[in-house]
């Protein structure tokens, strides 16, 4: 089954055609980063307008890449969570296309899409497994019980990890999005140079909190700037990412012990981070746990992951009507909330 998927939840205009949830036939991602960079973050209204401009080109190109609409069986679209205006552009486009081409319309939860990015990378990966979702908007530890059943074991109580990274990077003078630039800076830094606080250390639950850490790092930078101290931004970046990597691995490996699984998958934009990947790899090797990270291009937002998710949602018999609306706030354990 070939599904055409459309993703416009934030600042990437993306489309893909995916076969049987696993094989990417054609794909396009247009990133708006260069537009939003000058504002230091995503401007929702500009994002929506840019999606409207690029959608016909991006979608047209993947349809051509799949050999035309006749080779497509259904249209899938991200309906949440995300920026409401941005979501609506993709939803409206998908509805129009599904109606005109007489194809089913499949509503997809963006967070589930991130989980499915791993199915595109590892043909043998099957649920159940434990999944850590770390992106600009989400930080969640999820028990992936089956392709379409998720149980949230823990989530952030404040900032998402990517949000804390981007805000700290901005104070260090790095441009948006801060994550990749912070990674580069950290490569030459000492992970033990600064001691930043680790939140919920030793706690029984699997929730996260990153706003205290972010504030502590930002206060430290401002204090040193005010006192005109000479310090290494590389060391700050490396020490900050080290605490994040430790927090994420501690929670994930502890949560794994409460399941009878031997597999961990990590996904979302922040899973592209080298320091975090290394820490997970070392621990997984030590403990003989199977570890999965998506290919780098499937860590950040893309439509191929939405096309993968759509296959498993369609197999549950779930489709949407033409009154499908955007859900800016949507949980992964509520797949039929549309």
Binds 177, which of ligand KG4, Zn ion, none (CB < 5 to 8 A, cut-off by type)? Answer: ligand KG4
The count of other CB atoms within 10 Å of the CB of residue 211 is 15
Q: Which stretch, 24-32, 140-148, 160-168, 188-196, contacts ligand KG4 (CB under 6 A)?
A: 160-168
Is there binding between residue 118 and Zn ion (CB under 5 A)?
A: no
Is there binding between residue 21 and ligand KG4 (CB under 6 A)?
A: no
Q: Which two tokens stand for residue 225?
A: 């700037």
Cβ at position 59, least distance to ligand KG4 in Å:
20
Cβ at position 300, least distance to ligand KG4 in Å:
3
Residues 260-279 within binding reach of ligand KG4 (CB under 6 A): 268-270, 272-273
Options 5, 10, 306, 324; binder of ligand KG4; rule CB under 6 A: 10
Residues 163-182 within binding reach of ligand KG4 (CB under 6 A): 165-166, 177-180
β-sheet with 2-7: strand ranges across: 23-31, 12-19, 2-7, 74-80, 105-109
Options 137, 154, 189, 294; binder of ligand KG4; rule CB under 6 A: 137
| Cα dihedral value 324, 327, 333, 334, nearest 10 | -40
Exposure of 223 by Cβ count < 10 A (0-12 exposed, 13-18 middle, 19+ buried)?
exposed
Q: Which helix (H) or strand (E) holds 58?
A: helix 44-65
Alpha-carbon distance 336 to 288, whole Å? Answer: 36
Concatenating the DSSP letter of every residue in 208-243 gives B--HHHHHHHHHHHHHHHHTT----HHHHHHHHHHH
Contact indicator for 116, 314 with CB cutoff of 8 Å:
no
Options 164, 248, 301, 326; binder of Zn ion; rule CB under 5 A: 301
With contacts defined by CB under 6 A, how many residues of the chain interact with ligand KG4? 19
Q: Which stretch, 18-26, 130-138, 205-213, 221-229, contacts ligand KG4 (CB under 6 A)?
A: 130-138
Q: How many CA atoms lie within 13 A of 194 on its CB side?
A: 26
> Whose CA is closest to 192, among 229, 250, 273, 246?
246
Alpha-carbon distance 291 to 115, whole Å? Answer: 13
Binds 180, which of Zn ion, ligand KG4, none (CB < 5 to 8 A, cut-off by type)? Answer: ligand KG4
Cβ at position 93, least distance to ligand KG4 in Å:
19
Q: What value, to the nearest 5°, has the Cα angle with vertex 183 and ends 177 and 189?
A: 140
Options 50, 135, 139, 263; binder of ligand KG4; rule CB under 6 A: 135
Cβ at position 9, least distance to Zn ion in Å:
7
List the x/- string, 128-157, binding to Zn ion by CB under 5 A: -------x----------------------
Is there binding between residue 242 and ligand KG4 (CB under 6 A)?
A: no
Residues at the interface with ligand KG4 (CB under 6 A): 10, 135-137, 162, 165-166, 177-180, 183, 268-270, 272-273, 300-301
Q: Which residues of this chain interact with Zn ion, rule CB under 5 A? A: 135, 301
């Amino acid at each position: 089954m070939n599904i055409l998927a459309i993703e416009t939840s934030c600042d990437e205009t993306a489309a893909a055609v995916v076969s049987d949830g696993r094989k990417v036939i054609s794909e396009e991602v247009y990133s708006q980063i260069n537009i939003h960079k000058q504002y230091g973050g995503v401007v929702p209204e500009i994002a929506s307008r840019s999606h409207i401009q690029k959608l016909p080109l991006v979608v047209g190109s993947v349809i051509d890449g799949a050999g035309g609409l006749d080779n497509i069986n259904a249209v899938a679209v991200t309906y949440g969570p995300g920026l409401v205006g941005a979501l609506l552009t993709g939803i409206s486009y998908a509805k129009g296309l599904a109606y005109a081409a007489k194809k089913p319309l499949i509503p997809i939860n963006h967070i589930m899409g991130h989980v499915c990015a791993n199915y595109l990378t590892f043909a043998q990966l099957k649920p159940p497994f434990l999944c850590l979702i770390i992106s600009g908007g989400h930080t969640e530890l999820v028990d992936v019980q089956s392709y379409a059943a998720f149980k949230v074991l823990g989530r952030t109580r404040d900032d998402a990890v990517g949000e804390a990274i981007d805000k700290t990077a901005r104070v260090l003078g790095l441009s948006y999005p801060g994550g990749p630039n912070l990674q580069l800076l950290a490569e030459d830094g000492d992970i033990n140079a600064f001691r930043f606080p680790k939140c919920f250390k030793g706690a029984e639950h699997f929730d996260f909190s990153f706003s205290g850490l972010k504030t502590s790092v930002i206060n430290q930078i401002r204090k040193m700037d005010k006192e005109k101290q000479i310090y290494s931004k590389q060391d700050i970046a490396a020490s900050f990412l080290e605490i994040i990597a430790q927090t994420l691995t501690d929670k994930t490996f502890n949560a794994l012990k409460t399941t009878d699984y031997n597999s961990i998958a990590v996904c979302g934009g922040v899973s592209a981070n080298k320091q975090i990947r290394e820490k997970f790899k070392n621990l997984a090797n030590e403990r003989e746990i199977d570890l999965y990270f998506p290919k780098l291009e499937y860590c950040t937002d893309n439509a191929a992951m939405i096309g993968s998710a759509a296959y498993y949602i369609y197999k549950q018999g779930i489709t949407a009507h033409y009154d499908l609306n955007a859900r800016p706030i949507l949980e992964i354990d509520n797949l039929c909330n549309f």
